C-alpha cells in the first residue's frame, strides 16, 4: 500500500534522524535553553534576515497547538480572528481557538483563500454601521500559506492585508504548516522575507516538512507576547527536552535543507498532477503546491484504493468525488510512477 494520504506519513528527514542519534547522550539544558535551540534560532533568523525588523523565534510542538497559542496570546480578550470559513482554525482544530476564548470571524473563501477585499469590506461595515460595543472586535487576520486547498497568496495580497491591518490596528498572522511547499512552488512571487515583512507573526512548519515534530513560531518587530515561556507552559506546550526541536530545526535550516526538500515535494507534485491531467481527470482546484485535488469516478477511486491511500474530499455528484493526493519531502518518484500506471 502506497500512501498519498497526507504529508506526515513518514518520520523525519535522514539528516535530522542522524543528528538525533549523534547527540542523543549529550546532556543539554531543558525547556529550549540548550545550544541546539540557540543554533536553530540563529539559522532561522539568518534565513529571515534583518530587513523586516527584529525577529523572535520560539519552538512549539504541533500545528493546532501553535495556532491556538499564537492567536490566543496575541489577541486581547475582546478580540476575534478573521479567517476564511475553510481556514484550518475554523474547521479542523476542534474549536481550539474558541476553547481559548476567542471567536473565529468567518468570511467566504475563494479557492481556499481569504480575499483582502472581503476583509476590507467587512471592516468598513464593522467600524461604519454596526453597534460594535456588543460585538467581537476583529483583532487579527488569519491566513494559511499554502491554504488548506493548496493555493497561494500573492505578494500583492499580503501587502493588501498589511495595509488593512495597519489601518484597523490588527495583526496579520500566517499559518505556515506547509510553508516550505508554498515557498518552493513554481511561479510564486512570495519569499520568506516577504512574509517576514508583511506579517506580524507566522510559523514555519516542521511536522509536514521533514521533521518528526515541531513548528517554529516567528514573531516580527516585538510582537512576541510577554512571558511567552510561562504562557506556553500554562497551556502544556513547553517541552522539557526542547533540544529535540532545536536539533531538528538546526538541521532543516542548515545548507538550505528546508527549501531543498520542499522543492522535491513540489517536483513530485508536478509529475503527479501531470499524470492525472494526461488521463483527462479534471482538477477540483488548480493547486501549485504539494496538495493536488482531482475529480474522479467513484468506481475508479474504489479500484485505486486497493493499492493507494488518498483523502476523499467531497462528493461532487452521484458518481464522482473530489480527492486529495499529497506529495511531501519523502515522496518517492517510483511511487508516483506506480500511481500513474494505475490511473
Residue 68 neighbours by CB under 8 Å, 6+ apart: 93, 96, 97, 99, 100, 235
**Stretch 46-85: interaction string toward a copy of itself, x if CB under 8 A:** ---------------xxxxxxxxx---x--xxx-x-----
Q: Which of residues 195-234 bind a copy of itself (CB under 8 A)?
A: 207-208, 212-213, 226-227, 229-231, 233-234
Q: Does 333 bind a copy of itself (CB under 8 A)?
A: no
Q: Does 3 bind a copy of itself (CB under 8 A)?
A: yes
Least distance to a copy of itself from the beta carbon of 314, Å? 6
**Stretch 119-148: interaction string toward a copy of itself, x if CB under 8 A:** ----------x-x-xxxxx-----------
Provide the 8-state DSSP code for 323.
E
Q: How many residues bind a copy of itself (CB under 8 A)?
A: 83
Q: Which is nearer to a copy of itself, 93 or 251 (CB)?
A: 93
Q: Which is nearer to a copy of itself, 43 or 243 (CB)?
A: 243
Alpha helix ranges (H) inside the chain: 14-23, 35-48, 63-74, 88-91, 96-99, 116-128, 155-168, 179-183, 192-198, 228-234, 243-252, 257-278, 298-304, 333-342
Stretch that binds a copy of itself, among 93-101, 142-150, 160-168, 184-192 (CB under 8 A): 93-101
Pick from 192, 197, 201: nearest CA to 170: 201
Is 314 in contact with 281 (CB distance < 8 Å)?
Answer: no
Least distance to a copy of itself from the beta carbon of 84, Å? 14
Q: Which is nearer to a copy of itself, 162 or 320 (CB)?
A: 320
Q: Which of residues 287-306 bind a copy of itself (CB under 8 A)?
A: none
Sheet holding 201-205, edge to edge: 55-60, 215-220, 201-205, 171-175, 137-144, 79-84, 104-107
Is 182 in contact with 289 (CB distance < 8 Å)?
Answer: yes
Q: Which is nearer to a copy of itself, 167 or 315 (CB)?
A: 315
Q: Which is nearer to a copy of itself, 36 or 202 (CB)?
A: 36
Q: Which of residues 5-44 bind a copy of itself (CB under 8 A)?
A: 5-6, 8-12, 14, 17, 20-21, 23-31
Quote the cell numbers at residue 120. Answer: 476590507
Least distance to a copy of itself from the beta carbon of 5, Å? 8
User: Pairing relation of β-strands 137-144 and 291-297?
Assistant: unpaired
Provide the 8-state DSSP code for 237.
-
Least distance to a copy of itself from the beta carbon of 100, Å? 8
Give the C-alpha separation, 308 to 314, whole Å.
18
Amino acid at each position: 500500500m502506497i500512501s498519498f494520504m497526507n504529508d506526515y506519513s513518514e518520520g523525519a528527514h535522514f539528516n535530522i534522524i542522524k543528528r538525533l542519534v549523534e547527540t542523543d547522550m549529550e546532556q543539554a539544558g531543558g525547556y529550549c535553553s540548550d545550544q541546539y535551540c540557540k543554533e536553530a534560532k540563529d539559522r532561522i533568523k539568518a534565513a529571515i534576515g534583518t530587513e523586516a525588523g527584529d525577529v523572535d523565534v520560539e519552538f512549539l510542538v504541533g500545528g493546532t497547538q501553535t495556532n491556538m497559542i499564537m492567536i490566543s496570546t496575541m489577541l486581547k480578550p475582546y478580540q476575534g480572528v478573521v479567517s476564511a470559513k475553510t481556514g484550518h482554525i475554523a474547521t479542523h482544530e476542534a474549536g481550539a481557538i474558541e476553547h481559548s476564548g476567542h471567536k473565529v470571524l468567518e468570511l467566504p473563501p475563494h479557492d481556499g483563500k481569504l480575499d483582502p477585499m472581503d476583509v476590507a469590506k467587512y471592516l468598513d461595515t464593522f467600524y461604519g454601521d454596526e453597534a460594535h460595543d456588543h460585538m467581537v472586535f476583529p483583532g487579527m487576520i488569519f491566513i494559511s500559506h499554502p491554504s488548506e486547498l493548496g493555493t497561494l497568496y500573492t505578494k500583492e495580497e499580503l501587502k493588501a492585508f498589511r495595509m488593512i491591518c495597519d489601518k484597523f490596528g490588527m495583526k496579520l498572522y500566517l499559518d505556515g504548516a506547509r510553508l516550505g511547499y508554498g515557498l518552493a512552488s513554481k511561479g510564486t512571487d512570495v519569499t520568506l522575507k516577504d512574509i517576514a515583512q508583511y506579517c506580524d507573526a507566522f510559523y514555519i512548519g516542521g511536522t509536514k516538512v521533514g521533521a518528526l515534530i515541531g513548528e517554529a513560531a516567528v514573531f516580527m518587530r516585538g510582537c512576541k507576547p510577554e512571558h511567552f515561556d510561562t504562557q506556553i507552559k500554562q497551556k502544556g506546550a513547553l517541552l522539557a527536552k526542547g533540544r529535540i526541536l532545536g536539533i531538528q530545526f538546526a538541521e532543516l535550516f542548515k545548507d538550505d535543507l528546508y527549501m531543498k526538500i520542499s522543492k522535491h515535494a513540489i517536483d513530485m507534485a508536478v509529475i503527479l498532477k501531470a499524470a492525472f491531467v494526461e488521463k483527462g481527470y479534471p482538477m477540483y482546484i488548480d493547486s501549485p503546491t504539494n496538495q493536488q485535488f482531482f475529480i474522479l469516478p467513484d468506481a475508479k477511486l474504489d479500484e485505486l484504493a486497493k493499492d493507494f491511500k488518498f483523502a476523499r474530499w467531497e462528493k461532487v455528484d452521484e458518481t464522482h468525488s473530489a480527492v486529495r493526493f499529497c506529495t511531501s519531502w519523502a515522496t518517492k518518484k517510483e511511487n508516483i510512477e506506480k500511481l500513474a500506471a494505475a490511473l
